[in-house]
Amino acid sequence: QVQLVETGGGLVQTGGSLRLSCAASGRSFSSYAMAWFRQGPGKERVFVAAISGGGDSTYYANSAQGRFTISRDNSKQIVYLQMNSLKPEDTGVYYCAARWNDYSVDEYTQDYWGQGTQVTVSS
């Protein structure tokens, strides 16, 4: 069993930055690939970024490439999402997800979810 708690959301102006954190509890954290998803107002939840269990491989949605950076600290069991050059379309609830072994962009194949943290980018 893995529990995930996201923090770091807030209100920011266009062009600003935020760093989201996802703290995990449970065993074998490094065996889980981690991912971030976003659900905008009235929209479906979409993939943002993922990182392998060891942290040596990352993958980004086109919308996040070049602006966002996913990283993890396995000793602290935390995953981060550094978001720069934020745009209004980045607004939404950001969810952290864990998947055993390999990462996936498919929300339906994630094993555990956090409760989400709200990010609002004002224009």
Label the pairing between strands 32-39 and 45-51: antiparallel
- Predicted local confidence at residue 1, as pLDDT: 86
Tens digits of per-residue pLDDT, 48-85?
999 999 999 999 999 999 999 999 999 999 999 999 99
Tell me the C-alpha to C-alpha distance, in Å, between residue 111 and each of 2, 27, 108, 119: 9, 14, 8, 23
The mean pLDDT of 27-35, rounded to a whole number, is 96
The mean pLDDT of 98-110, rounded to a whole number, is 95
End-to-end CA distance of the chain: 40
